[in-house]
Amino acid sequence: MNQAVYRKNEILRSSLAETMQLNHVQLALEAVRELGEPTEFPVPSDVDFLAFNALQNARREGYFHAIRAFETLAKPLSNAPLTKDLMPSLVDD
């Protein structure tokens, strides 16, 4: 099931939204966010510094991407604005 189908299903979406508001779920999400926070530790001596940092940043972004994905699934699907909505003076009626 893709995210658009999930978000169109009001029962699934609203159930997830309610679940996301529960105290224990908020605490769990906070713990996952904390795992994604930068922490200082020495780079292993046999590893390229830039490659190591790139990998750590990609890992960190993965945590935040997962959290944003859950938060997005709990929101109603909205229609993207049309060109005429964004720039009405440039579109002929």
C-alpha 50/C-alpha 52 separation (Å) is 5
Residue 36 included in any domain: yes
| DSSP 8-state code for residue 77 | P
Q: What is the pLDDT of residue 35?
A: 81
Residue 89 included in any domain: no
Based on C-alpha coordinates, what's the Rg of the chain? Answer: 20
Q: Which residues neighbour 35 within 8 Å (Cβ) at sequence distance 6 or greater? A: 63
User: What residue numbers bound the domain in which 61 lies?
Assistant: 3-76
Residue 83 and residue 92 in contact, taking contact as beta carbons nearer than 8 Å = no
Residue 82 included in any domain: no
Q: How many domains does the chain have?
A: 1
Helical axes 10-21 vs 49-73, angle rounded to 10°: 120
Residue 31 included in any domain: yes
Residue 47 included in any domain: yes
Q: What is the pLDDT of residue 27?
A: 95
Structure tokens at 58: 């990609």
Residue 76 and residue 8 in contact, taking contact as beta carbons nearer than 8 Å = no
Residue 92 included in any domain: no
Structure tokens at 93: 């009626």
Residue 45 included in any domain: yes
**pLDDT tens-place string over residues 34-64:** 887 877 778 888 989 899 888 888 888 888 8
